[in-house]
Amino acid sequence: MATPDTAQHVGDTAMDPTTRDSNEPLQRFQQTVLSAHEFNIKMYKYMREVEEAVHDGDANAKIGNKNRALRHEANGSRQQDQDAVSNLISSLQAQLRVGDQDLNDEHAFSSTAKITYLRLHLINLGRTDEAERVEAAAQRCWSELALKNETDLFQRIANTVTVTFIKHTQGEDSNTEDAAMLDSFWTWAKKQSPELRQRLVETLLLEPTDSVDPAILHELLDELARRSHELLTYSGRTKVRVLLAQRWLERAVETLETSNIQPPEPCYRRKGIEELDRLRAVGLQVPSESQERLASTLQKLAGLLAGDHPLSDVAEAIKMGQRSIDAYEALLKQKATDEHRTNVSYALVDQAKRLTDRDEPGDLDRALEIGQRIIVLSKELVEKDPTAGRRTNLVDSLHLQAMRLTDRDGPGDLDEAVNMGQRSIDVFGALLEEKATDERRSNLGTALQNQARRLARMAGRGDLDRAIDLGEQSINLFRALLKKKATDKRREDLGNAFHRQADRLRDRGRPDDLDKAINLGQRSINVFKALLEEKATAERRRDLVRALDYQVAYLDLRGTASDLHNSVEMKKESIDIGQMCITSFETLLEEQATVRRRMDVAAALHYQASRLMERDQPGDLESAIAMGERSITLRKALLEERATDERRKHVGTSLYHQAMRLTTRGGPGDLEKAIEMGQRSIDAYEALLREKATDERRT
């Protein structure tokens, strides 16, 4: 919104000879203002002369003479300007009549501002009666402007508040015309109906502030909030605080959606939360209609803050997510409707994912508690009305909870996860029988694949056989989907299914299992090679090099002459692609150093170092040690930022392998370094074992 430069409009009009007749009152007003301005300057100079006279010791005589001169000049000014002031007020009021449809809104606003400025000068000249008459005229003008175009008037006022505040904080001389105009307007606004004042407050809260320096933005928001509270009676304070909170939080959302540069988003978010906390502190309840909108905004803000971009802040995302949950839960407590249950459930699903992704100590346990609450809500909805959508939500909640239990791997967790996994397979299967859609085939295929992985870890009699059976079912579903439509996602799903099934067959070790594993491993390689040729991404290189690594192990295990030859070729290809994988991830890291990309680079370096050690050609050992050191540096930095079990495990593994490399090299000081790294690796693994004694950690 452009700031109306009212002084410039009047000056330009007064100097234009083509508008002399129609704007003669404005010219007289300009002369009156200039005369008053000159009078004020003379008063300032007079005070300076008085200060000098005091130093000269002849102050009394000079002060007396100057007073007489100024009184005479002021009296003459009053007599001379009396008619001009009266005519000016009448003329400006005539120009501001609502019925004049050709009147420009900006010019009308400017003229009203001039009336308020004239009042200020009349007060300075001691003409109180005339100043009151001018103010009464200004009040009528505000009413007429509001009737003609309320939205435009309120937007101009909001803009003037912002501009005036910015100038003040920057130490610039305040615009007395703007100050006089705002004082007059607030006097008028406070006398208006509650509905009009409410609309004015909403306009103030929508005042654009994106271009405001973040250093002063918080103070500006305070000023807008203060003005808003002045305009509303006590009974409206709850609503205005909700409006303020909603306004700032929505601006935070807008900023995150449209910018990748550090914006004032934290300031908007902080102000919104402050307003909500003030409501809570005095025990005021947010109206239901506002509570739902706030909850939705908080949920959206949490999702954006958890995004993979430079402005992400997972800790803040989790805080916003919890506030969203609290708001939805409050609505559910007020009225237990299906819609409220659904909203709470969705907010909980998002929060559980954020906690699982962050993976700080205690996060997984909290995510599991939330997951159980989601299951309860989903069951309640299904019991009331077992629609396909609600049953799908229930089975999704079971499926995700099973994955979280598998990750935690505490006493009894894997058994419970297997039970939940089977329930999700049963429901997905029933839904598929009712209506065979591609989405349902994909859901069932994923559920089968995850259950197969859990069963493979059970190590009980028949568990691996059952896992292989589920893996085969999963492959058949993914093949059927791929035949219908060959999307990249479906090809990736099938490639991963081949790779995992091959690993299970290798582990079972029955006659022909290794041959089947090698066959599936090659098909997995073919899928990932084709995807990489179509679009060379870092992730696709990683998938291919992993498939090659596993296939090398299968071929070496079978050990035919042909296998060994193929193994050598694959090792070479794996190393070449592994190096490209490192380069790709490092390029992405340079563009945007997210946690995920730093972890990807560290992992790529670690695995490439292992490949070089296995190849063992001249120079490979030195390269492997250099890569291992870089991987350790990245993983240690990540661990220092946030100490999670996964990061402790990564550091321990990297230290162990690097100690082995240094021992192999055996240079000066290498053995001492290897012993030191080996001890640090032991310390890391023992810390994990003390925290949770799983079989994997004991191994």
Contacts of 5-13 spanning 24+ positions with Cβ under 8 A: 6/109, 6/110, 6/113, 6/114, 6/177, 7/177, 9/106, 9/107, 9/110, 10/110, 10/114
Residue 594 lies in a domain: no
Domain count, the chain: 2
Contacts of 149-155 spanning 24+ positions with Cβ under 8 A: 149/105, 150/196, 150/199, 151/203, 152/105, 152/109, 153/105, 153/109, 154/199, 154/200, 154/203, 154/204, 155/1, 155/203, 155/207
End-to-end Cα, the chain, rounded Å: 67
Tell me which DSSP letter residue 211 carries.
T
Q: Is 488 exposed, middle or buried (CB count within 10 Å of its CB: 0-12, 13-18, 19+)?
A: exposed
DSSP characters over 284-326 = PPPPHHHHHHHHHHHHHHHHHHTSSSTT--HHHHHHHHHHHHH
| C-alpha torsion 415→418→424→429, nearest 10 | -140
Residue 250 lies in a domain: no
Q: What does pLDDT average to in each consecutive run of 10 residues of the chain (699 residues)? A: 36 33 49 50 45 44 42 46 56 49 68 77 76 85 88 90 83 70 90 87 78 78 82 66 82 77 75 82 75 91 83 89 94 93 96 88 91 96 94 95 88 91 94 93 95 87 91 96 93 95 92 94 94 89 86 86 85 86 83 80 89 89 93 91 81 92 92 91 81 66
Residue 276 lies in a domain: no
Instruction: Please tell me the predicted confidence (pLDDT) of residue 64.
Output: 43
Q: Which residues contact 678 (CB under 8 A, 6 or more apart)?
A: 655, 656, 659
Residue 71 lies in a domain: yes
What CA–CA distance (Å, rounded) separates 672 from 678? 10
Interhelix angle for 194-205 vs 214-231, to 10°? 180
Q: What 3-state DSSP class applies to 616?
A: coil
Residue 655 lies in a domain: yes
Q: Which residues contact 160 (CB under 8 A, 6 or more apart)?
A: 3, 4, 178, 181, 182
How many helices (H) and strands (E) the chain has is answered by 27, 0
Domain of 654, in residue numbers: 608-698
Length, in residues, of the chain? 699
Give the rounded distance of the alpha carbon of 66 from its chain centre: 65
Residue 498 lies in a domain: no
Instruction: Please tell me the predicted confidence (pLDDT) of residue 443.
Output: 94
What CA–CA distance (Å, rounded) separates 353 from 359? 10
Residue 373 lies in a domain: no
Closest CA to 328 of 315, 338, 318, 341: 341
Which of 91, 114, 144 is the endpoint of a domain?
144
Residue 64 lies in a domain: yes
Q: What are phi and psi of 163, to 5 degrees?
A: -65, -45
Residue indicated by tokens 């009396």: 82
What CA–CA distance (Å, rounded) separates 478 from 342? 31
Which of 94, 128, 144 is the endpoint of a domain?
144
Which of 116, 144, 172 is the endpoint of a domain?
144
